Amino acid sequence: MVRDIAGEFQGHIAVVTGGASGIGEGCARRLAEGGAKVIVADINMKKAKEVAAAINGHAMEIDVSDDKAVEQFADACESDIGPVSSVVTSAGVLQPPLPPDELSLETWDRVMNIDFRGTYLTCRAFGPRMAKRGRGSIVTIASVTASLSVPLHSYAPAKSAVVSLTRTLAAEWGRSGVRINAISPGATWTAALEEAVAKGERNVKGLEEVSCMGRLLTTAEIGNAAAFLCSDQSSGITGIDLVVDAGWIAGGAWHAYSGIRPTRRNSDT
Ligand SMILES: NC(=O)c1ccc[n+]([C@@H]2O[C@H](COP(=O)([O-])OP(=O)(O)OC[C@H]3O[C@@H](n4cnc5c(N)ncnc54)[C@H](O)[C@@H]3O)[C@@H](O)[C@H]2O)c1
């Protein structure tokens, strides 16, 4: 049965940080399809305006690593547009897979500041407002690397911290009707991944190979998971890390044996 999603978020105001590209754009588009008025919040205003125009939303500028700017942004959202009921924190950057003696502290700090501190600042700005109103859902975008060992000594710990923060804040605001959950995507085809591949920092074949399903994720698949966690369909769920990874965690160790089995579908032979 196909579920009718139009109207699912009618009357809702949603903020998506990093909404101008990739996973954030996928989430913004999906929430808008469900009827939400979406605030596309990004440091890249040109792209934010393009996405906002396509989904009849609002584009607003934000640097999630700037505490004062994030507070002002939350004030502006609520005074200019209205009470925000859903937030997706997708603003983030990747990092090169370098050993610690080659990874500059500047890069290490930048990744921590945007990916972890930026997530905290966004939650800190919107969570208390939602708690006072007695309702709201926040979805943080972590990563499957939070649960794996990969050569990303700032990014992966930052994402583990996002998962931990999601749990601490779930208890902080749970009794006030605010739910907060993480999504941990596996490798998802976005501008950031494309750029890392172009620089030789990621290998598409390798990323596909480690997953049970033998493929990357689409931004729409992450958007669907975010919509589920923002909607009343997940009313009993808070503090979880929803892994959407095409089976990377489940399949990764198979390469120490004979590799993941090829398809048995008649149509693929
Ligand atoms: N692509 C993947 O394979 C993958 C996998 C797991 C998790 N993630 C996470 O998903 C999120 C989105 O990544 P993506 O692949 O869609 O990247 P992307 O580059 O396509 O999108 C990221 C967006 O964040 C914005 N941004 C960057 N720094 C910002 C800042 N300081 N303030 C506000 N906006 C800022 C960028 O302008 C961009 O529009 C990130 O947190 C990333 O870590 C991505």
Enumerate domains of the chain plus CATH numbers: 13-187+219-243 (3.40.50.720)
pLDDT tens per residue across span 134-167 = 999 999 999 999 999 999 999 999 999 999 999 9
Distance 220 CA to ligand 1 centre (A): 15
Answer yes or no: is pLDDT of 269 > 80: no
Is the Cβ atom of 42 under 6 angstroms away from ligand 1? Answer: yes
Picking from 71, 113, 67, the residue whose alpha carbon sits closest to that of residue 92 is 113
pTM, 2 dp: 0.97
Residue closest via CA to ligand 1's atom 32 equals 63
Ligand 1 and 185: CB distance under 6 A: yes
List own/partner pairs for 252-260 with CB under 8 A and 24 or more apart: 252/148, 252/210, 255/209, 255/210, 259/209, 260/209, 260/212, 260/214
Active site residue 155: yes
In tens, the pLDDT along 173-217 reads 999 999 999 999 999 999 999 999 999 999 999 999 999 999 999
Q: Report the atom number in ligand 1 closest to the C-alpha of 219.
A: 16
Could you identify the residue written with the tokens 């808070």? 238
Share of the chain above pLDDT 90, in %: 95
Measured in angstroms, how far is the CA atom of residue 41 from the centroid of ligand 1?
12
CA of 188 to the centre of ligand 1 (A): 11
Is 169's C-beta closer than 6 angstroms to any atom of ligand 1?
A: no
Q: Is the pLDDT of residue 3 over 70?
A: no
- Ligand 1 contact via 187 beta carbon (within 6 Å): yes
Taking the centre of ligand 1 as the mean of its atom positions, its distance from the CA of residue 258, in whole angstroms, is: 34
Distance of alpha carbon 248 from alpha carbon 138, whole angstroms: 25
Confidence of residue 7 (pLDDT cuts 50, 70, 90): confident
For atom 41 of ligand 1, the residue with the nearest CA is: 92
